[in-house]
Structure 1
């Protein structure tokens, strides 16, 4: 016997698909949305649909943008010879929070993870190699998380980049193995940038 209306259960199921959202939290979110005025629920739905329609990948760095080219890649004051490779768009936010990095980025959209069936072809590696191959890049900083998958991805990319005669470095995190870039504070990120080492 169904306790709640089918539409409410469907909404709960959709929230439960989000990362980090369990069944109870999904149910709480669904009830919250239903308790809001119609206009607010419509604004929420419109914001979701608008984001899906207008946000796409920057053709240069693969970060999320709603422009032809993202603001970081467009910024002529940034050092375009310095490319920081991160796993996810949220890692760009973490690096920018430190306010000490003035280069540009390349977003892989994941890391190599055989257990999760993610291989090199599933990432934005080809775009990175093409970008570096065009010239003008003097250093590529590997800023994937200091865990098994992040390290494996950094080592794999360094081997691919070596023939392109570009310096490849790795952030010296100063944070425990298994930690994530997005949770590192500004001081830790600054030290990681300053202490980066060749790989």
Structure 2
């Protein structure tokens, strides 16, 4: 039987949990208390799962998705080689698209959007890699599934300009995505409707 955890170690765990999105110190304390009280059923399996993910998780070298291999299962699936690439800002947006099951092609994660205020330029995103993929993979359409924010729309127009010499169709999600909305918070039906009603830029 392992020795009891010292209060200092519990405080350190609470501090780490409080750094997670959507959690503050009070929520972190409640969560850690729940984990400690249910150590065998919850805490120990969680610790093992976290250790495995910390060891194996990596960024897909093609699309930027999170995977446990050099190239993620979406990129290696031959059924998804449809000639369509769906461009998203973050991995969470890719996962939101996959939940709906409306898209059967491949993805490209930018890693953010252009932002003058945050000094994020094209060289800070995976835009050059996208252009290379369009040229090398025989892509027929690039679907820009970027969030309906000012930065998202600025990024979409920049990408459309960069891809213009490639002669590829560039479209964007249409109805169903409200201005200021983020894909990760939309329901599956809304994402599916927006994807089907995409428009050419």
TM-score by length of 1: 0.88
Q: Distance in 1 between matches of 2:70 and 2:159?
A: 27
Q: How far apart, in 1, do the equivalents of 2:102 and 2:160 lie?
A: 24
Matched, 1:126 2:128: yes
Q: How many residues align?
A: 196
Structure 2 counterpart of 1:57: 59
* Contact 1:112–1:118 (8 Å) recurs in 2: yes
1:30 maps to: 32
- After the TM superposition, which residues 134-145 of structure 1 pair with which residues of structure 2 at under 5 Å, given as runs? 134-145=136-147
Question: Post-superposition shift, 1:143?
Answer: 0.2
Distance 2:81 2:195 in 1: 15
Distance 1:162 1:71, change over 3 A: same
**Map 1:14-163 → 2, pairs under 5 A:** 14-37=16-39, 40-163=42-165
> Helix, strand or coil: the match of 2:106?
strand
Is the alpha carbon distance of 1:8 and 1:90 closer, same or farther for their aligned partners in structure 2, counting shifts above 3 Å?
same
In the TM superposition, what is the alpha-carbon distance from 1:63 to its structure 2 partner? 0.8
How far 1:25 sits from its partner (Å)? 0.7
Structure 2, unaligned stretches of length 5 or more?
A: 1-5
Deviation at 1:40, TM superposition (A): 4.2
Query: Which of residues 164, 186, 189 is equivalent to 1:187?
Result: 189
Structure 1 vs Structure 2 CA RMSD: 2.0
Question: Aligned partners of 1:151, 1:195: CA distance in 2, in Å?
Answer: 17
What is the distance in 2 between the residues matched to 1:12 and 1:170?
A: 42
Residues 1:16 and 1:100: Cα distance change in structure 2 (over 3 Å) = same
Q: Is the 8 A contact 2:115 2:121 kept in 1?
A: yes
